[in-house]
């Protein structure tokens, strides 16, 4: 264990829950738990979440995990990225956090493109600066909620740096944000790993916003120490070091064994991604997001999906019955395939194409279609979306056929769904034995690297290997899936514009 036999409290703030564990030197979780979150509210292209709920759930989970004693050596935080929170002087949120899936700032994104050129900001940030970027969202706030923006003492760029600021009492430029999260925002110069030059913000009338940004540091860095007020609510001693790990995609990639080149990881949660570590950035025009790796001169190449297992959650809510989730999946996938196609874009999409207006759809419903047929199409459609993303990432040598791929996240709990995913991708997949804890493990490892307690970014992983099988008609249904997506995107856009 760490010094004095103490443990690290590691928390991962997702969209649907906060999960956490007390972790010792051997990576063993001595206690673990999860507290639900209300989730992001959705209305068209608007997506917001209550940042106060992050704090309430995280502090409750911290108390749960520490109630049986054992000294906490440090607190390590990771979580959802590209989420803009305006904070008061006490670190509390002044309004709902604007989530990563929020794309209402489309006019502002178009203005950024007109002002700086289609590739001007892309060359600096390494990614497209679109309506989901925090630069566009900041411009939207300036125009629609100027008072809220003006009164903020600081801004957070993800869930982890928001909690770290409250725990340490540091706001604005005294606070820190990990570079993995910062690289998702359109606010960071990728080469310098610091905020864009001041003249960018000046031209947009956002100089005041730039002054509220946190400092950017490598994931795993200590952000400060636990203050007295937070310590009492979390049952963690005041003065305990607080670390910001890489944001969720980075921590999960490390924890899933893909922190070094030569491996790739799939995350199948409410949202999802396919990611790997590379020595060079990928092409944003191929649907690749380039996120800063905490290791020097490395990058996480990521293809993020806005809605992954969230499609399953939607279907179960819309079509409830008495069977468990696992039973429903098994029943659906035991049926013969039908021509039914499902598009899994309930909240738009980011990769391998960026389209805030695309939506979910069933194509090919008949009077004979059953709920099991529809669920099978949903599960298959999500798998098809991962294949589409994988094809975008194949432009990099790190994602070629000899690469080992792991799967983590809540959706990986279904063996039958994982067998389908392996068949759709046409390759073996290693389903991690502790798949839901990869983000916690990766965040913990990053803090240890930063503290000089270990070196390198390779973590051994264990899990069952799932082999692909031949599924009748799979290739033709995938082609139909791609064709339906291309054909319906203009229809969705017209529907949104006409609403």
Q: Span 145-150, mean pLDDT?
A: 96
Q: Tell me the range of 63-67, 212-216, 392-396 where mean pLDDT is highest.
A: 212-216
Statement to judge: residues 36 and 92 lie in one domain: yes
Whether residue 347 is found in the same domain as residue 241: no
**By residue range, what is the domain housing residue 482?**
254-499
pTM of this prediction? Answer: 0.89
| pLDDT greater than 60 at residue 1 | no
Q: What is the pLDDT of residue 354?
A: 85
Q: According to the 3-state scheme, what is the secondary structure of the chain? A: CCHHHCEEEEEEECCCEEEEEEECCCCCEEEEEEEECCCCEEECCEEEECHHHHHHHHHHHHHHHHCCCCCEEEEEEEECEEEEEEECCCCCECCCEECCCCCCCHHHHHHHHHHHCCCHHHHHHCCCCCCCCHHHHHHHHHHHCHHHHHHCCEEEEEHHHHHHHHHHCCCHHHCEEEHHHHCCCCCEECCCCEECCHHHHHHCCCHHHHCCCCEEECCCEEEEECCHHHHHHHCCCCCCEEEECCCHHHHHHHHCCCCCCCEEEEEECCCEEEEEEECCCCCHHHCCEEEECCCCCCEEEEEEECCCCHHHHHHHHHCCCCCCHHHHHHHHHCCCCCCCEEECCECEECCCCCECCCCCEEECCCCCCCHHHHHHHHHHHHHHHHHHHHHHHCCCHHHCCCCEEEEECHHHHCHHHHHHHHHHHCCCEEEECCHHHHHHHHHHHHHHHHCCCCCCCCCCCCEEEECCCCCCCHHHHHHHHHHHHHHHHHHHHHHHHHC
Q: Examine the domain organization and report whether 25 and 64 are in the same domain.
A: yes
Question: For residue 123, is pLDDT > 70?
Answer: yes
Q: Counting beta carbons within 10 angstroms of the beta carbon of residue 235, is it exposed (0 to 12), middle (13 to 18) or buried (19 or more)?
A: middle
Q: Residue 147 sits in a domain of what CATH number? A: 3.30.420.40
Same domain, 232 and 323: no
Average pLDDT over residues 386-398: 74
* End-of-domain residue from the set 210, 227, 245: 245
Residue with tokens 């994982």: 418
Domain final position from 245, 265, 288: 245
225 vs 118: which has the higher pLDDT: 225
* Burial (0-12, 13-18, 19+ Cβ within 10 Å), 71: middle
Positive or negative, the CA dihedral 52, 56, 57, 62 is: positive
Residues 236 and 333 in one domain: no
Region 303-309: what's the mean pLDDT?
93
**C-alpha pair distances (Å), 204 with each of 145, 210, 400:** 15, 11, 41
182 with 210, same domain: the answer is yes
**Closest by CA position to 258, among listed 382, 82, 398:** 398
Q: Are residues 367 and 497 in the same domain?
A: yes
Q: What confidence score (pLDDT) does residue 396 get?
A: 46
**pLDDT higher than 80, residue 156:** yes
Q: Counting beta carbons within 10 angstroms of the beta carbon of residue 62, is it exposed (0 to 12), middle (13 to 18) or buried (19 or more)? A: buried
Q: Tokens 């390198």 correspond to what residue?
A: 456
Q: Which residue has the higher pLDDT, 128 or 414?
A: 414
d(C-alpha 8, C-alpha 75), whole Å: 6
Q: Verify that 198 and 280 share a domain, yes or no.
A: no
Does the pLDDT of residue 167 top 90, yes or no?
A: yes
| Residue found under tokens 């125009």 | 143
Identify the band that residue 297 occupies on the pLDDT scale cut at 50, 70 and 90: confident
Confidence of residue 313 (pLDDT cuts 50, 70, 90): very high
Asked if the bond preceding 352 is cis, omega within 30° of 0, the reply is yes
Residue 212 above 50 pLDDT? yes
Does residue 395 carry a pLDDT above 60? Answer: no
pLDDT at 69 over 80: no
Amino acid 244: pLDDT: 98
- Higher pLDDT: 450 or 70? It is 450
Per the rule left: phi > 0, alpha: psi between -120 and 50, beta: everything else, 91 is left
Read off the pLDDT of each residue in 162-189 and give the average, rounded to a whole number: 97
Last residue of a domain, one of 215, 245, 275: 245
pLDDT digits (tens, 9 = 90+) for 33-68: 999 999 777 777 899 999 999 999 999 999 999 987
Number of domains in the chain: 2
The mean of the pLDDT values for the chain is 93
Q: 315: exposed, middle or buried (C-beta count within 10 Å: 0-12, 13-18, 19+)?
A: buried
Q: Is the dihedral of CA 134, 136, 137, 143 positive or negative?
A: positive
Q: How far is CA 54 from CA 49, 230, 244, 308, 341, in A?
A: 9, 14, 15, 22, 36
Q: In terms of domains, do 190 and 284 share one?
A: no
Residues 398 and 482 in one domain: yes
234 backbone dihedrals φ, ψ, rounded to 5°: -100, -5
Tell me the mean pLDDT in the region 326-343.
96
Q: How far apart are CA 77 and CA 162, in angstroms?
A: 10
> Are residues 266 and 209 part of one domain?
no
Same domain? For 228 and 315 the reply is no
Task: Examine the pLDDT at 393 and tell me if it is beyond 90.
Answer: no
Percent of residues, the chain, with pLDDT higher than 70: 97
């Amino acid at each position: 264990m760490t010094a004095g036999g103490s443990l690290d409290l590691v928390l991962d703030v997702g969209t649907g829950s906060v999960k956490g564990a007390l972790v010792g030197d051997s990576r063993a979780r001595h206690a673990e738990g999860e507290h639900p979150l209300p989730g992001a509210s959705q209305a068209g292209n608007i997506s917001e979440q209550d940042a106060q709920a992050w704090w309430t759930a995280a502090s409750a989970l911290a108390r749960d995990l520490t109630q049986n004693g054992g000294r906490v050596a440090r607190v390590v935080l990771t979580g959802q990225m590209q989420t803009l929170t305006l904070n008061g002087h006490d670190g509390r949120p002044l309004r709902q956090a604007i989530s990563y899936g929020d794309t209402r700032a489309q006019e502002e994104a178009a203005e950024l493109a007109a002002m700086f050129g289609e590739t001007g900001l892309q060359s600096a940030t390494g990614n497209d600066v679109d309506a989901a970027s925090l630069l566009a969202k900041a411009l939207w706030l300036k125009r629609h909620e100027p008072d809220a923006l003006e009164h903020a003492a600081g801004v957070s760029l993800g869930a982890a740096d928001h909690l770290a600021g409250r725990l340490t009492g540091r706001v604005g430029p005294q606070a820190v944000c990990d570079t993995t999260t910062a690289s998702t925002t359109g606010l960071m110069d990728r080469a310098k790993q610091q905020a864009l030059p001041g003249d960018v913000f000046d031209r947009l009338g956002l100089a005041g916003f730039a002054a509220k940004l946190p400092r950017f540091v490598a994931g795993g860095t200590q952000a400060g120490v636990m203050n007295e007020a937070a310590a009492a609510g979390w049952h963690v001693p005041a003065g305990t070091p607080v670390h910001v790990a890489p944001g969720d995609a980075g921590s999960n990639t490390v924890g899933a064994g893909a922190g070094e080149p030569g491996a790739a990881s799939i995350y199948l949660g409410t949202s999802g991604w396919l990611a790997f570590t590379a020595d060079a950035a990928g092409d944003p025009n191929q649907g690749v997001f380039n996120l800063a790796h905490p290791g020097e001169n490395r990058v996480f190449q990521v293809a993020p999906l806005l809605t992954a297992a969230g499609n399953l959650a939607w279907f179960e809510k819309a079509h409830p019955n008495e069977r468990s989730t696992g039973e429903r999946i098994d029943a659906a996938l035991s049926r013969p395939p039908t021509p039914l196609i499902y598009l899994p874009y309930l909240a738009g999409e980011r990769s391998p194409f960026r389209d805030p207006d695309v939506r979910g759809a069933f194509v090919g419903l008949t009077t004979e279609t059953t709920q099991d047929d529809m669920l099978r199409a949903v599960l298959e459609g999500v798998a098809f979306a991962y294949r589409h993303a994988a094809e975008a990432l194949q432009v990099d040598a790190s994602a070629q056929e000899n690469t080992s791929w792991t799967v983590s996240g809540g959706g990986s709990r279904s063996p039958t769904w994982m067998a389908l995913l392996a068949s759709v991708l046409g390759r073996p997949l290693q389903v991690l034995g502790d798949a839901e804890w990869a983000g916690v493990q990766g965040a913990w490892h990053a803090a240890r690297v930063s503290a000089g307690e270990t070196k390198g970014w390779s973590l051994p992983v264990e899990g069952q290997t799932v082999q692909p099988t031949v599924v009748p008609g799979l290739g033709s249904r995938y082609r139909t899936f791609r064709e339906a997506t291309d054909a319906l995107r203009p229809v969705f856009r017209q529907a949104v514009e006409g609403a």
